Chains A and B, each alone.
Chain A
Amino acid sequence: MAAVETTLQLTVDKILIYYDLPQLFIAKDQVDGKYVCMNVDSENEYPKYISIRVSTNKLNELILGKMDLRTAFQSSETGVWYFVTFNENGDYITDAINFSVVDEKYLPEEGFFFPEIETNDNLIIKEATEKNNAIVHLSFSDAFNRESMDIELLGDFIKLFQNLVKYSYKKAVSTVKNRPDLERSENYTLRAFETSPGSFNIHLESAAKTDLFGYSNVEIALKRIDEIIGDVSQKDALLDKIKTYRGHAVNAYKKILENIIDNNINVSYKWTSPFNNKVTGRKINRIYAEKAIEIMTGKDDLGSEVREFVGIVTEVDYDKGTWRIIDEEDNKPYSGKSTPSLEGITIHTKRYKFICDEVVEMIKITQKEKTSYNLLSFTELR
């Protein structure tokens, strides 16, 4: 074999197999060319990989399980193979080589495929791979399985689903402190890029980019939605799970269920991401929605989102029952109304803890949300 003087710097796009170190991964070069890299020696201080540049077609054949890894590495579309090693900065650097026949020690055994993919989920996996992003397929059909839908109803459901994702995400990250990156709205925002027949399918992707390992923050929400749309025959277990998302997320979920019942619509979704690499999802029909609503009926506190503010009260109107407090945690003002009397509160000098019910309303005309707070109780702090 003769070495060709072609040195490239690769960056990892997606790790497919990890075993004590990356064993198999997809990488890209500076011009977005895709490479499949496979570990051939992990005993030395730095591992050594063999790599081939792959076209989108060949990559898809690998992803879809139409080609095994051995076949892929036995021939190179460019006629060049690469050894990939680390340089002193930990960058992946290629060293091009020409093989007439690839040495057996650099080849996997026959029948090794990329991590398993269910055949009926090929499209969503393919989209997740090509876009390197989390993908959601949201599907609708009416009681007659018709592939068309009232546009107003469609708009409502898409908005409701986005709200469910948004509030599930916010609930999940609400306990994480000092991570402003997690608070960005792009983390939970979905964007439509395609439709397909079957039932009426809308293909959505995360508005945020994935990390190095193909992980998308929207997965935080999608995993939780999978959980709350659980087995309705296990009432107590499901209610316990739903309780952990009490507040806006449960309200959004209930609205979806109520709409399904009112309109006799079947709604399903499935999702995947390059990191997750498996497809999960749920289907909700009218019967399921009725059972789920029944489980939540009478549990009024499920929809209550309790917020706590600690700080100095800057305004109080005892007659109108309104107040304003500067929360010490984010240094922002919050205002609202009060259920208990505000008598006894001193402004500007003393610190208080306010326990409030947070209510989010959609303004019909602008479709924007309005958040308001109702003070449930307060305590003077020393």
Chain B
Amino acid sequence: MATTYYEILPESCPEIDAKPASNEKFYRLIRAKPAINGDFQSKRMKQPNALFKDISECILSAVSIYKQTEMDIKKLPSLKGKIPAIITLTPTDGLIKQTFTNPHYSWWRAKEFEIENSITYI
């Protein structure tokens, strides 16, 4: 069955070598507990008109996650104060691909993804 994505994606997106997750755990920062849909939206969805000429539209339409349960990226100025959470992604939750520096992944979120059943707060 074809995946229906949460966001409108550009053509040829997700990228051809993206794969479904297999009940893997990923790190994501959220604004507050409990997590809401806005915590799992891409930069492109939040800022539809922003121009990022160095980043492909497909990557901009993905949500960043890290395949590691502990990260110190919340020490960075723009991420300070955010709350770390672990999400467990199943094959129906969309496609993932390792992008940029390992263990960063881009996640093209499927509509089926249910926050409350997938999230654990650290």
Q: Do A and B come from one complex?
A: yes
Residues of B within 8 A of A89 (CB): 51, 53
Stretch at the interface among B1-9, B98-106, B113-121: B98-106
Q: How many residues of B contact A (CB 8 A)?
A: 27
Q: Are A45 and B50 in contact (CB under 8 A)?
A: yes
Q: Are A115 and B101 in contact (CB under 8 A)?
A: yes
Residues of A within 8 A of B76 (CB): 17, 23-24, 38-39, 69, 108, 112
Q: Are B43 and A22 in contact (CB under 8 A)?
A: no
Within the complex, what minimum Cβ distance (angstroms) separates A364 from chain B?
40
Q: Are A90 and B52 in contact (CB under 8 A)?
A: yes
Q: Are B77 and A19 in contact (CB under 8 A)?
A: no
Complex CA gap A275/B99 in Å reads 9
Q: Are B101 and A16 in contact (CB under 8 A)?
A: yes
Within 8 A of B (CB), among A78-98: 86, 88-91
Complex CA gap A69/B72 in Å reads 12
Q: Are B100 and A111 in contact (CB under 8 A)?
A: no
**Which range contains the number of A residues in contact with the other chain?**
35 or more
B55: Cβ under 8 A from any A Cβ: yes
Known: A15-B100, A212-B54, A277-B102. A20 touches B43 (CB 8 A): yes
Within 8 A of B (CB), among A265-305: 275-278
Whose C-beta in chain B lies nearest to the C-beta of A50? Answer: B77
Q: Are B53 and A23 in contact (CB under 8 A)?
A: no
Q: Are B73 and A23 in contact (CB under 8 A)?
A: yes
Complex CA gap A35/B64 in Å reads 24
A106: Cβ under 8 A from any B Cβ: yes
B37: Cβ under 8 A from any A Cβ: no
A378: Cβ under 8 A from any B Cβ: no
Residues of A within 8 A of B64 (CB): 18-20
Q: Are B79 and A45 in contact (CB under 8 A)?
A: no
Residues of B within 8 A of A22 (CB): 54-55
Whose C-beta in chain A lies nearest to the C-beta of B66? Answer: A19
B12: Cβ under 8 A from any A Cβ: no
A147: Cβ under 8 A from any B Cβ: no
Within the complex, what minimum Cβ distance (angstroms) separates B74 from chain A?
8
Within the complex, what minimum Cβ distance (angstroms) separates B18 from chain A?
16
Q: Are A18 and B63 in contact (CB under 8 A)?
A: no
Complex CA gap A19/B64 in Å reads 5
Residues of B within 8 A of A69 (CB): 76
Residues of A within 8 A of B63 (CB): 20
Contact of B79 among A12, A19, A50, A115 (CB under 8 A): A19
Residues of A within 8 A of B29 (CB): 19
Within 8 A of A (CB), among B27-62: 29, 42-43, 47, 49-55, 60
A238: Cβ under 8 A from any B Cβ: no
A183: Cβ under 8 A from any B Cβ: no
Within the complex, what minimum Cβ distance (angstroms) separates A234 from chain B?
20
Residues of A within 8 A of B60 (CB): 21
Q: Are B78 and A23 in contact (CB under 8 A)?
A: yes
Contact of A38 among B47, B54, B77 (CB under 8 A): B77
Contact of A90 among B51, B79, B80 (CB under 8 A): B51
Q: Are B75 and A46 in contact (CB under 8 A)?
A: no
Q: Are B53 and A90 in contact (CB under 8 A)?
A: yes
A161: Cβ under 8 A from any B Cβ: no
Residues of A within 8 A of B51 (CB): 46, 86, 88-90
Whose C-beta in chain A lies nearest to the C-beta of B62? Answer: A20
Known: A18-B64, A19-B64, A20-B63. A105 touches B101 (CB 8 A): no
Within the complex, what minimum Cβ distance (angstroms) separates A58 from chain B?
19
Within 8 A of B (CB), among A9-52: 12, 15-24, 38-42, 45-47, 50
Q: Are A46 and B50 in contact (CB under 8 A)?
A: yes
Within 8 A of A (CB), among B65-122: 72-73, 75-80, 99-102, 104
Q: Are A39 and B77 in contact (CB under 8 A)?
A: yes
Residues of B within 8 A of A105 (CB): 77
A-B pairs, 9 with minimum CB distance: A90-B53, A109-B75, A90-B51, A18-B100, A112-B75, A40-B77, A39-B78, A19-B64, A20-B43
9 A-B residue pairs with Cβ-Cβ distance under 8 Å, sorted by A, are A12-B54, A17-B100, A22-B55, A41-B78, A46-B50, A89-B53, A108-B75, A109-B75, A109-B80
- Given contacts A17-B104, A91-B53, list 12 more A-B pairs with CB under 8 A: A15-B100, A17-B76, A19-B64, A20-B63, A39-B76, A69-B76, A89-B51, A90-B52, A108-B77, A111-B75, A213-B100, A278-B102
